[in-house]
Chain A
């Protein structure tokens, strides 16, 4: 290190704190979710127990569904119905501005942390395929709104027990799930743009200004909503799954 001809380039980073901790946690968290979600989607079983439908399988749109929301797809589809819908929230999260930061850092090490050198030697960012597709985030946002509508519907159905109206722990679980997912979706940067961010002058559009201001406030917590809703949706699926498997009982609150 003490040669006169040394250069700073020899150091990957000069940071002395544990900069690797955060990307590691994100790696474990996101990786864990992807593994669980893939496994759960592949199961093609234990996703419905009246009156609860797992959010991984909602809306259930193929003929082979245990609980058909709208049977749009015929019986030729013989894979798990989860795959018919999961690409929407999957795509929404994959192209989300927050998750992009998270996985570019944790999975691509590009960069692993601030002021720590990129793993890759060359870099073209989001200028080329496939990352150019990140620009379609807003269309995933629109599609997610459709899914959200079904999840709200599922939540309403979750009050309809075989013996009539009721509230179970599952009702609360599904309600919290769709609420958190709504927060996550509405706090999205694309939504913020569409609601008014595209304007250069707010004075002449007070309604849009209010909407934009509201979404802007939500947006400050977008990362938090992203994580909480991600964990909760997995827990909601797990809850329905364990109920269906008979591992746990559903407790009726009302």
Chain B
């Protein structure tokens, strides 16, 4: 296939401000957006800042917004665009920009620290740990998360309302919390944390996290909603509350 010219608009700038700049460059067969970014970097803008690692959708580094949609650049093929279409690449919006396509995602690492660790139950009598595939299927889906933080980025709770950040953990960490809560061996209780500090109630289940997840994790249906239901068990179930009063718990 002959090389085609494409027109890219990339956000260039830092915390002080920036602008979209236009680049025209040739693309070859099978190229993904990240390849084009690399070509621009090598040929036209050596200092173009971008994060990437594996280039195979496994590490979750090259998150950005392609024509306004949160995506991994390494998994966005150029042949999905119409010929002649201008392709706009901007950094993730929910996080403070560092430079060009690179943002400060430290919010996510701070939230990770707030989650109580896995605490296993005692071992079986024979010293082993037995778990069954049906017990771990659910949690293994959550463990597919590559921490690209696209779900955090698209979540309007923090994307559009920066002031909510202290009170809201975000979809990535609801997935993490769900993976711990549903872990067949875990013995920690994180229910109060999920309701209070992690702010599950802020989520209005509009499902954008699920839409953008490159690992196709059913974040809303399999992690967030089951956690909401568990909170109902814990805090909004009058029958259970009454029962607890009598049981003296």
Asked if chains A and B are in direct contact (CB within 8 A), the reply is: yes
Tell me whether A126 and B203 are in contact in the complex, defined as CB-CB below 8 angstroms, given that A111-B156, A135-B231, A136-B236 are known contacts: yes
Minimum Cβ distance to chain A for residue B104 (Å):
14
Cβ contact within 8 Å between A8 and B97: yes
Among B88, B157, B164, contact of A16 (Cβ-Cβ < 8 Å)? B88
Cβ contact within 8 Å between B236 and A125: no
Interface 0/1 of B173-205, CB less than 8 Å to A: 000000001111010000000000001011111
A interface secondary structure, majority: loop
Tell me whether A189 and B225 are in contact in the complex, defined as CB-CB below 8 angstroms, given that A110-B204, A126-B204, A203-B134 are known contacts: yes
A17: chain B residues within 8 A (beta carbon): 67, 69
A122: chain B residues within 8 A (beta carbon): 161, 163
Cβ contact within 8 Å between A202 and B135: yes
Cβ contact within 8 Å between B68 and A115: yes
Interface 0/1 of B205-227, CB less than 8 Å to A: 11110011000000011000110
Chain A: interface size category: 35 or more
Cβ of B27 under 8 Å from chain A: no
A125: chain B residues within 8 A (beta carbon): 157, 199, 201-204
A131: chain B residues within 8 A (beta carbon): 204
Minimum Cβ distance to chain B for residue A93 (Å):
14
Cβ contact within 8 Å between A117 and B160: yes
Cβ of B114 under 8 Å from chain A: no
Cβ contact within 8 Å between A115 and B70: yes
B206: chain A residues within 8 A (beta carbon): 101, 104-105, 110-111, 114
B17: chain A residues within 8 A (beta carbon): 3-7
Tell me whether A14 and B161 are in contact in the complex, defined as CB-CB below 8 angstroms, given that A127-B202, A135-B231 are known contacts: no
A209 to B161, CA, bound (A): 40
A6 to B11, CA, bound (A): 11
Cβ contact within 8 Å between B154 and A115: yes
Interface 0/1 of A100-133, CB less than 8 Å to B: 1100110000110011011000111111000110
Cβ contact within 8 Å between B232 and A138: yes
Tell me how many residues of B have a C-beta within 8 Å of chain A. Answer: 57
Cβ of A198 under 8 Å from chain B: yes
Cβ contact within 8 Å between A200 and B19: no
Cβ of B93 under 8 Å from chain A: yes
A124: chain B residues within 8 A (beta carbon): 202
Tell me whether A200 and B184 are in contact in the complex, defined as CB-CB below 8 angstroms, given that A14-B67, A122-B161, A123-B156 are known contacts: yes
Cβ contact within 8 Å between A114 and B90: no
Cβ of B83 under 8 Å from chain A: no
Among A135, A138, A203, contact of B132 (Cβ-Cβ < 8 Å)? A203
A202: chain B residues within 8 A (beta carbon): 132, 134-135
Cβ of A190 under 8 Å from chain B: yes
Cβ of B229 under 8 Å from chain A: yes
Cβ of A219 under 8 Å from chain B: yes
Tell me whether A114 and B212 are in contact in the complex, defined as CB-CB below 8 angstroms, given that A8-B11, A200-B181 are known contacts: yes
B65: chain A residues within 8 A (beta carbon): 14, 115
Cβ contact within 8 Å between B68 and A13: yes
A123 to B226, CA, bound (A): 23
B11: chain A residues within 8 A (beta carbon): 8
B170: chain A residues within 8 A (beta carbon): none
B157: chain A residues within 8 A (beta carbon): 123, 125
Cβ of B91 under 8 Å from chain A: yes
Cβ of B110 under 8 Å from chain A: no
Cβ contact within 8 Å between A14 and B90: yes
Minimum Cβ distance to chain B for residue A24 (Å):
16
Cβ of B230 under 8 Å from chain A: yes
Minimum Cβ distance to chain A for residue B152 (Å):
13
Cβ of A89 under 8 Å from chain B: no
Cβ contact within 8 Å between A126 and B229: no
Cβ contact within 8 Å between B19 and A3: yes
A–B pairs, 9, beta carbons within 8 Å: A4-B13, A4-B18, A97-B225, A114-B208, A114-B211, A127-B199, A131-B204, A138-B232, A197-B229
Report which B residues bind A (CB closer than 8 A). 11, 13, 16-20, 65, 67-70, 88, 90-91, 93, 97, 131-132, 134-135, 154, 156-157, 159-161, 163-164, 181-184, 186, 199, 201-208, 211-212, 220-221, 225-226, 228-233, 235-236
Q: Which 3 A-B pairs have the closest CB atoms?
A: A14-B68, A15-B68, A114-B208
